[in-house]
């Protein structure tokens, strides 16, 4: 997730015009894989999207945290050998599950919701809708139900028959990643700086654990110091629930202003040095180009929504299995017999 980095900030008027053109068009320019189509299940499983939406709504009603958790699954799936549902596989024989990687262990959740959706789809249209496509649809529906943008989800992915714990550890950025590391990991997936900043805007919902940002509070540079890019008043509030040791699993909102609403406050928080994770705040402090994008999205929620939707389509097209590759799993947690 290393290619040369193109750090270009386009004028706002051009950005709005371009993104509107792409989001309102169904031409191939808006999707990187012509094998996928929004109408893929139109005849084979016409109720598929409605079924997914109903289960997302129920899950969100039962647990407001679940939307962000489900959205995260699509990211962590696509960054490991493409959007192929490999993240959903449990340990089996010699295959080590990606659920055990540093980015997923004790934090990835929502698998039971995916199980329920898959079971309902199998009852409606057996062995038709892939687990990979379920993740893509769920990512869109969780964004919408929390107030964010919608987009046409391109469908037709098939499911992987194997997982890669090593790739999961290597490909997914973590909270302590440097700016260049994050850029490189996104570039490796064909995603540029604009995609990176927009997609990290997904942190407008969700939570992170104390241990993911503790170093910023107590030992940022190895000298028992506070991260100087963290607002001191905000840091004091965080320290009350995240002590220098213990309470590793205590949860804190990634966007403390509107933690359950998909909006552009994530970017506004970064501009006031109140990004929870180092890997978020560095978008504003380590690169002039990413700083300008943060400012742009912080000032214009509509523009953020348009780019986020466009980048989600782009991410959803990372190396999908199509045609006769892979399989359509009957149960998302294990390959077919």
| Exposed/middle/buried for residue 195 (C-beta within 10 Å: 0-12, 13-18, 19+) | buried
Label each residue of the chain as H, E or C: CCCCCCCCCCCHHHHHHHHHHHHCCCCHHHCCCCCCECCCCCCCCCCHHHHHHHHHHHHHHHCCCHHHHHHHHHHHHHCCCCCCCHHHCCCECCECCHHHCCCCCCCCCCHHHHHHHHHHHHHHCCCCCCHHHHHHHHHHHHHHHCCCCCCCCCECCEECCCCCHHHHHHHCCCCCCCHHHHHHHHHCCCCCHHHHHHHHHHHHCCEEEHHHHHHHHHCCCCCCCCCCCCCHHHHHHHHHHCCCCCCCCCEEECCCCCCCCCCCHHHHHHHCCCCCCHHHHHHHHCCHHHHHHHHHHHHCHHHHHHHHHHHHHHHHCCCCECCCCCECCCECCECCC
pLDDT tens, N- to C-terminus, the chain (337 residues): 343 333 333 333 333 333 333 443 333 344 457 789 999 999 999 999 999 999 999 999 999 999 999 999 999 999 999 999 999 999 998 899 999 999 999 899 999 999 999 999 999 999 999 999 999 999 999 999 999 999 999 999 999 999 999 999 999 999 999 999 999 999 999 999 999 999 999 999 999 999 999 999 998 877 788 999 999 999 999 999 999 999 999 999 999 999 999 999 999 999 999 999 999 999 999 999 999 999 999 999 999 999 999 999 999 999 999 999 999 999 999 999 8
Model confidence over 123-136: pLDDT tens digits? Answer: 999 999 999 999 99
d(CA 184, CA 285): 17
Question: Is 203 marked within a binding site?
Answer: yes
**Which residue, chain included where needed, has tokens 């993240």?**
87
Question: Is 204 marked within a binding site?
Answer: yes
pTM: 0.89
Length of the chain: 337
Question: Is 82 marked within a binding site?
Answer: yes
| Exposed/middle/buried for residue 288 (C-beta within 10 Å: 0-12, 13-18, 19+) | exposed
266 φ/ψ angles, rounded to the nearest 5 degrees: -55, -45
User: Is 76 one of the annotated active-site residues of the chain?
Assistant: yes
Terminal-to-terminal C-alpha distance of the chain: 32
Question: Is 258 marked within a binding site?
Answer: yes
Question: Is 98 marked within a binding site?
Answer: yes
Token pair for 317: 């097209």
Question: Is 306 marked within a binding site?
Answer: no
Question: How far is CA 87 from its chain centroid?
Answer: 13
d(CA 47, CA 39): 12
92 φ/ψ angles, rounded to the nearest 5 degrees: -160, 115
Strand partners, 209: 251
> Residues near 75 by Cβ (< 8 Å), separated by ≥ 6?
139, 172, 199, 202, 315
What value, to the nearest 5°, has the Cα angle with vertex 263 and ends 112 and 12? Answer: 130
Strand partners, 37: 155
Residue of 20, 60, 76, 220 marked catalytic: 76
Question: Is 173 marked within a binding site?
Answer: yes
- 207 dihedral zone (left: phi>0; alpha: psi -120 to 50; beta): beta
Question: Is 227 marked within a binding site?
Answer: no
d(CA 269, CA 285): 13
**Which residue, chain included where needed, has tokens 């934090």?**
107
Strand partners, 252: 208
């Amino acid at each position: 997730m290393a290619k040369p980095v193109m750090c270009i900030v386009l004028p706002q008027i051009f950005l709005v015009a371009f993104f509107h053109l792409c989001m309102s068009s169904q031409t191939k320019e808006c999707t990187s894989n012509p094998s996928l189509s929004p109408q893929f299940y139109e005849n084979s499983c016409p109720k598929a999207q409605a079924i997914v939406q109903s289960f997302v709504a129920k899950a969100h009603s039962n647990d407001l945290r679940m939307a962000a958790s489900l959205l995260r699954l699509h990211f962590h799936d696509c960054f490991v050998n493409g959007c192929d549902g490999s993240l959903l596989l449990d340990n089996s024989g010699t295959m080590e599950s990606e659920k055990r990687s540093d980015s997923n262990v004790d934090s990835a959740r929502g698998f039971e919701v995916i199980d329920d959706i898959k079971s309902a789809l199998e009852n409606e249209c057996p062995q038709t809708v892939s687990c990979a496509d379920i993740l893509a649809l769920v990512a869109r529906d969780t964004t919408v139900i929390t107030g964010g943008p919608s987009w046409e989800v391109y469908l037709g992915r098939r499911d992987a028959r194997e997982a890669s714990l090593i790739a999961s550890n290597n490909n997914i950025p973590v909270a302590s990643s440097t700016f260049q590391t994050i850029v490189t990991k996104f570039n490796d997936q064909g995603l540029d700086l604009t995609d990176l900043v927009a997609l990290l805007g997904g942190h407008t919902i969700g939570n992170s654990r104390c241990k993911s940002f503790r170093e910023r509070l107590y030992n940022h540079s190895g000298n028992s110091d506070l991260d100087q890019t963290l607002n001191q008043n905000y840091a004091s509030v965080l320290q009350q629930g995240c002590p220098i040791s213990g309470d590793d699993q205590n949860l804190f909102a990634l966007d403390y202003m509107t933690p359950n609403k998909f909006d552009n406050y994530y970017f506004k928080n970064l501009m006031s040095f109140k990004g929870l994770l180092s890997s978020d705040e560095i978008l504003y402090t380590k690169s002039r180009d990413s700083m300008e994008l943060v400012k742009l999205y912080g000032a214009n929620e509509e523009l953020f929504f348009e780019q986020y939707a466009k980048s989600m389509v782009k991410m959803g097209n990372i190396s999908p299995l199509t045609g006769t590759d892979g399989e359509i799993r009957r149960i998302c947690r294990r390959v077919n017999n």
